[in-house]
Amino acid sequence: MTQKFDFHVNGKPVSLSLDNEETPLLNVLRNELGLMGTRFGCGLEQCGCCMVLIDGVPEKCCSKPAWSIAGKAITTIEGLGTPERPHPLQQAFIDEQAGQCGYCLSGILITAKGLLDKNPSPTRAEIATALDSNICRCGSHNRILRAVEKAAAQIRAGAKL
Ligand code: FES
Ligand code: FES
């Protein structure tokens, strides 16, 4: 039976009808809404590259059924910044060359945003703990940690969000 879902994505209201309410949120974002920044990696909630913010909390969405997001606010990587006006996290990742292949980065940026929204002055250990669920197979971990620290400092100094 077709089900209708109302929720918000990147600040915009979305109303969607789906034949299968168990359709994962990741498929909804990519296939129904054309938001391709959120990546499919393992599909098993193991790698973190499908991370989005749900009501401000970073969550993997590859196995999260559509019915569970009704009425909620989703933020994807497309909601962080633009090439012309990057979020301080995105700028810091560019400055620190924190990506290699880049496949993990949208998930890592979303997790980092969730962390900095909650804790603007995280220690390196707190950043590493927050990013524990995000796998980077390229091994860019040190540069990623440096980039998150840099973004946190810039946001504290008043960088525009
Ligand atoms: S694709 Fe969701 S955790 Fe790997
Ligand atoms: S930069 Fe390649 S997986 Fe992280």
Q: What is the mean pLDDT of each run of 10 residues along the chain (161 residues)?
A: 92 95 96 97 97 98 96 97 95 96 97 98 98 94 97 93 75
What separation in angstroms does the CA of 65 have from each of 2, 46, 69, 96? Answer: 14, 16, 8, 36
3-state secondary structure of 56: coil
Q: Which of the 8 DSSP states describes residue 37?
A: T
Q: Is ligand 2 within 6 A of the CB of residue 135?
A: no
Residue pair 149/119 in contact by the 8 Å Cβ criterion:
no
User: CA–CA separation, 58 vs 158, rounded Å?
Assistant: 23
Residues with CB under 6 A from ligand 1: 40-43, 45-50, 60, 62
pLDDT at 1: 77
pLDDT at 46: 97
What the block records as the tokens of 144 is 């990623």
